[in-house]
Structure 1
């Protein structure tokens, strides 16, 4: 990907994480990046194509980070917890796919498919590392809920409190 495409995707990711799918337009993204909106349309013909690409990149980046934590010796649940905590700490906002999942029934098939992939990979990843499907779903739901709680309360320690029992 070139620098403009990455900048467009970064701007879209920030806006989606802060305000959801409805919280951005191509005009907003163009202003954030310092290009004309036609340039955004050139790289991403539709809002759906942009949001799907952003969700796909986010999922890959997130699961790679979890994989690295496991490779570094963390148990799978702690690896997922650390990845969510790092996203909350570093980005100060919701999980991108968690933000989009709130509106999953209203999303295009293309975007909803990428959001679903994040959650399916999360569950599959935890099951592949020894958790039952039920426990894996509990872990992902707890992490997403804890992130939501921390954002709503404006208090990152709420995430730690809500996820302490996972360890």
Structure 2
């Protein structure tokens, strides 16, 4: 892998977060050290500590940035004025894009696996990520039910939680099997249950 200088790729803190995200998505938070990050970037450990004095600081910044990016994606999907089925397809594609052939999956899915060993501040950030997903999905499903575009057999909040759990499970199954191509068909099967007859 060809490494670019930090000045070519942006500021040091942003690059630390990029590398940390990739490593955590592959290994989990507890299996990533500051030396792993500094080695990848060609900088000293002290540089990582300068920007993120404690590993908790790094973890909180990492999850917060990931959640904020999701918020922007969801706002963009919502602002397009798509019919509800297409809006849900766009959501699914955003999920599909984080399932990578190298084994990386959604950062917060990985962190949910480590949840009991994460610092409290990180647990709160991970919880906010999943709450954001549930709220957006519940609102979309409720809107689709009201317009007749979608059919629900349970309240929107429960349907949203079930759909999110199914997508997370499909991601883990794709990763564990080494066949990332199976994520999208499984996800589309989950979405299909909400199509209006």
Q: What's the TM-score once normalised by structure 2's chain length?
A: 0.78
| Alignment match of 1:146 (pick from 165, 170, 192) | 170
Cα distance in 2 for residues equivalent to 1:114 and 1:91? 26
Instruction: Indicate the residue corresponding to 2:20 in structure 1.
Output: 12
CA contact (8 A) 1:17 1:95 kept: yes
Instruction: Indicate the residue corresponding to 1:67 in structure 2.
Output: 75
Quick check: 1:163 aligned with 2:187?
yes
CA distances 1:51-103 after superposition (whole Å, capped 9, x unpaired)? 11111111111232233233332634323211101111487511000100111
Cα distance in 2 for residues equivalent to 1:67 and 1:145? 25
Aligned to 2:165, the other structure's residue is in SS state: helix
Deviation at 1:12, TM superposition (A): 0.5
More helix as a share of residues: 1
Deviation at 1:128, TM superposition (A): 2.4
Instruction: Indicate the residue corresponding to 1:125 in structure 2.
Output: 136
Q: Taking structure 1 as reference, are residues 82 and 90 closer, same or farther at Cα in structure 2, changes over 3 Å only?
A: farther
Q: Taking structure 1 as reference, are residues 67 and 89 closer, same or farther at Cα in structure 2, changes over 3 Å only?
A: farther
List gaps (5 residues or longer) in structure 1.
none
Deviation at 1:157, TM superposition (A): 2.1
Cα distance in 1 for residues equivalent to 2:100 and 2:119? 30
Quick check: 1:85 aligned with 2:96?
yes
CA distances 1:22-74 after superposition (whole Å, capped 9, x unpaired)? 12101111111111100100100111110111111111112322332333326
| Alignment match of 1:47 (pick from 44, 55, 79) | 55
CA contact (8 A) 2:101 2:180 kept: no
Aligned residues: 166
Cα distance in 2 for residues equivalent to 1:36 and 1:138? 44
Cα distance in 2 for residues equivalent to 1:74 and 1:86? 21
The CA RMSD over aligned residues, in Å, is 1.8
